A and B are shown apart, each in its own frame.
Chain A
């Protein structure tokens, strides 16, 4: 197994990256603490969802609104994007070419945007079937939880584009490396939240 000392969660750059490795200890710990607060935030929204899932007020319920195929595709897209971001992280750590790093990041971005595309389509379909948040507490809770995750993914995509922009301007300097490390944590975290979403919301609703 690895004998490396893990200074912080996520991929550790190692001593070959000098200053970035040192600063990462504090930066990443701080970002990890932020993710923990975000986890609690999601947890409370999940709790709201779970305790509202029967509050359909005579309106459409999970079985009327959810589409298992769509949820499955979204899951695969996000999982793939986690893997591709992992490849990007490796390209950064092992100092492969800048092109390689950017390529993996762009693939991740495309997968993320595809995920969002499917999600937006899902929401529009639900609304067309009468599943609007104004209809019931259940649909309100759905539209709090899943779009909250989607907004986080959107933020991640924008951040990714900005990082590529910073790379174009400054090359892969310390700030860029720290940005990639933190975005990696963020991205994997969002995939973990998605596991909870597809399990509790989609599979739980359709079972």
Chain B
């Protein structure tokens, strides 16, 4: 087998050497064999996994339903599909993390992974976790929940929502395909040039990375616009901004941040693409290129991005703390102000990601101070959450376990961030695993625990039955201890001098700490396994755990005021709101679960092929660009333009749900509520919970 491409005009630079086991067969050294088997194994999982999924869908004849879902403009379905993508990508990125920890446990003197393979692992791990795990997860949660929280029927631009999903899925597919054909970038998740320029990385790796990020970034920009407009324009009558639930507030700030943070990423990727494909000189070593432009642009995106990741998690925690303490959120106004301060300040600190790269101490000082300031609103939030629990009737459910662990662990991570905000300290630990420890310390207990808590909290709303609590708690504890064991040693290792992204090392004093970190990684994989088992057991036991009345946790906001799963149009009649925690107020006043005077016809958008089309076109365009298959690029571009023009000519894009049907569905739900047994909180994790809450006894904390 030669390394020459098969057929340049037809298949671009695809050739035998694009296959993951090629080098292993050409040059069977021990290192190549080990790396080739791992890479080949991963590729086989992707290929067989895809075949098995296709086969199962065909066997159970679910293609029709799948197409209904993929073309659906319903925000609840789109949200669920986003979360599915997130969970699948979480599994892959966690296994990559475990592999890296394994390598480093044996890393004294080199380990078993080649440097190139290790570099691909940390690059895909970071890229997937940020762009294809957390972003879809939070977008999915916001999609499912936010429109219901504001008493709306859907987002402002439902088909655009579907298109965003398609683009994100295309990016994820591209990253998965990189396991089978070619290889991924070795430049890390932020891919600094000139290493990622064509002169140093001529292969397909950085191209996969660039186009995956462009697809994801476009999807996120549209999502940000969609969510922001929805929250501004579709709120139920009477719901002023200061009546919105905190999760909606954080969704609004997140959306606005997405609108403004994605453009610098698009510019950076575009310019790097121009350098690589057309020989431009934005970031090259010579002829007037300046690599610091890239660092500046990337972190102009990258810093707000990490606050985009954390704010929805903060929103989840606000809801969880209030609900599972049976109390109104403490300090609502300060929480809102803190959220807005974080959103704005996040655009003023980006330079702290490259303190050491040559600018003057004056600039470093300004950005350092700004970075420390951003800790203040976060601290305010922590206190508000603790005060919410104080004198409440706290229930230690799975979401609450994640939330309380978050309080302890995130504060530590935040504090290490304040340390790093000081440029003098940062100079000592920049590019060591101290930094890796810091950002995982805020990302895992902060972002991931928030996502998992939100997943557990709102699962019954989305699917109509509760998740298994025992496996949920087990997963939570494994996550907590797994995280601590995996990352706390890295603080010490960083100060002891271990650089980040190094496959191996020569200091034997690192080995015990690396071993502890590996045990932590194993616990994390166990946590993932527990999550998988949880979903399997929950589906198996779903009939016992159904909560059709819709309010399993005695929730406070409007998303709990309809059936579980919610009807397509969310609310039979749009509610009128007059304050915060409007559902709690309604339950206390006895005005919840009322029959309305009148039902109206409801107009909903029709299904549209634009979402899957955007995904397919995006994928093939990107694939063509990566492999230099120019006819595919041209065809993809023409298809994209044609699709947009075609959509412009579409006219019959809505359908009407007759009032009679709305009435029938709603009154059937009211019958379920009437027949349900109202439970106290002590029984909320038992099968007797049908989703109807008994009102707390007189004298309970407000």
Contact = CB atoms under 8 A, between A and B. Distances in A.
Q: Do chains A and B touch in the complex (CB under 8 A)?
A: yes
Given A33-B259, A144-B280, 16 more contacts: A25-B233, A29-B232, A33-B228, A37-B225, A40-B264, A57-B281, A57-B286, A134-B279, A134-B281, A136-B287, A137-B287, A137-B289, A137-B290, A138-B288, A140-B281, A144-B270
Interface stretch (A47-55, A82-90, A109-117, A198-206): A47-55
Interface of B: 156-157, 221, 224-226, 228-229, 232-234, 259-260, 262-264, 266-267, 270-271, 274-275, 278-282, 284, 286-290, 293, 297, 300, 641, 645, 648-649, 651
B281 A48 contact: no
A138 B282 CA distance: 8
Contact of B233 (A29, A36, A165): A29
A166 B649 contact: yes
Contacts of B297: 44, 48
Contacts of A95: none
A138 B289 CA distance: 8
Nearest to A173: B651
Contacts of A52: 282, 288, 290, 293
A34 to B, nearest CB: 6
Nearest to A179: B648
A37 B221 contact: yes
Contacts of B287: 57, 59, 134-137
A51 B283 CA distance: 12
Top-4 shortest CB links A-B: A137-B288, A55-B288, A41-B263, A140-B280
- What secondary structure prevails in chain A residues at the interface with B? helix
Contact of A30 (B229, B270, B641, B649): B229
Interface in A145-182: 158, 162-163, 165-166, 169-170, 173, 175, 179
Nearest to B233: A26
Interface of A: 25-26, 29-30, 33-34, 36-38, 40-41, 43-45, 48, 51-52, 55-57, 59, 133-141, 143-144, 158, 162-163, 165-166, 169-170, 173, 175, 179
Contact of B651 (A40, A158, A175): A175
A143 to B, nearest CB: 7
- What secondary structure prevails in chain B residues at the interface with A? helix
A87 to B, nearest CB: 23
Contact of B229 (A26, A139, A162): A26
Nearest to B259: A37
B293 A36 contact: no
A166 B293 CA distance: 43
A166 B645 CA distance: 10
Contacts of B224: 37
B284 to A, nearest CB: 8
A26 B405 CA distance: 41
Contact of B267 (A29, A48, A158): A48
Contacts of A138: 288
A163 B648 CA distance: 8
Given A26-B229, A26-B233, A37-B262, A143 B280 contact: yes
B281 to A, nearest CB: 4
B290 A30 contact: no
A45 B267 contact: yes
A139 B287 CA distance: 10
B288 A30 contact: no
B271 A48 contact: yes
16 contacts: A29-B233, A36-B259, A37-B225, A37-B262, A40-B264, A133-B281, A134-B287, A136-B287, A137-B284, A137-B289, A138-B288, A143-B280, A162-B648, A166-B648, A173-B651, A175-B648
B293 A37 contact: no
A175 B652 CA distance: 11
Contacts of B260: 36-37, 40
B608 to A, nearest CB: 14
B233 A44 contact: no
Contacts of A165: 649
A136 B289 CA distance: 7
Contact of A55 (B275, B290, B648, B651): B290
B281 A44 contact: no
Contact of A34 (B225, B234, B648): B225
Contacts of B270: 144
Nearest to A159: B648
A33 B289 CA distance: 32
B267 A44 contact: yes
B652 to A, nearest CB: 11
Nearest to B271: A144
Nearest to B650: A175
A158 B270 CA distance: 23
A170 B651 contact: yes
A90 to B, nearest CB: 23
B292 to A, nearest CB: 9
A158 to B, nearest CB: 8
B274 A29 contact: no
Given A37-B260, A40-B264, A55-B288, A134 B229 contact: no
A44 B288 CA distance: 18
Nearest to B641: A158
Nearest to B287: A57
B267 A41 contact: yes
A170 B279 CA distance: 46
Nearest to A141: B282
Nearest to B258: A37
A59 B264 CA distance: 28
B288 A57 contact: yes
Nearest to B289: A137
Nearest to B270: A144
A143 B271 CA distance: 11
B282 A137 contact: yes
B225 A30 contact: yes
Contacts of B282: 48, 52, 137, 140-141, 144
Contacts of B259: 33, 36-37
The residue among A30, A36, A38, A173 with the most chain B CB atoms within 10 A of its own CB is A30
Contacts of B226: 30
Contacts of B649: 162, 165-166, 169
Contacts of A43: 263
Contacts of B290: 51-52, 55, 137
A53 to B, nearest CB: 10
Contact of A44 (B228, B264, B280, B645): B264
Contacts of B280: 133-134, 140, 143-144
B351 to A, nearest CB: 14
Given A26-B229, A44-B267, A133-B279, A56 B651 contact: no
Contacts of A38: 263
A40 B257 CA distance: 12
Nearest to A42: B263
Contacts of A135: 281, 287
A33 B645 CA distance: 22
Contact of A162 (B225, B267, B279, B645): B645
A158 B648 CA distance: 12
Contacts of B278: 133-134
A56 to B, nearest CB: 7
B359 to A, nearest CB: 13
A59 to B, nearest CB: 8
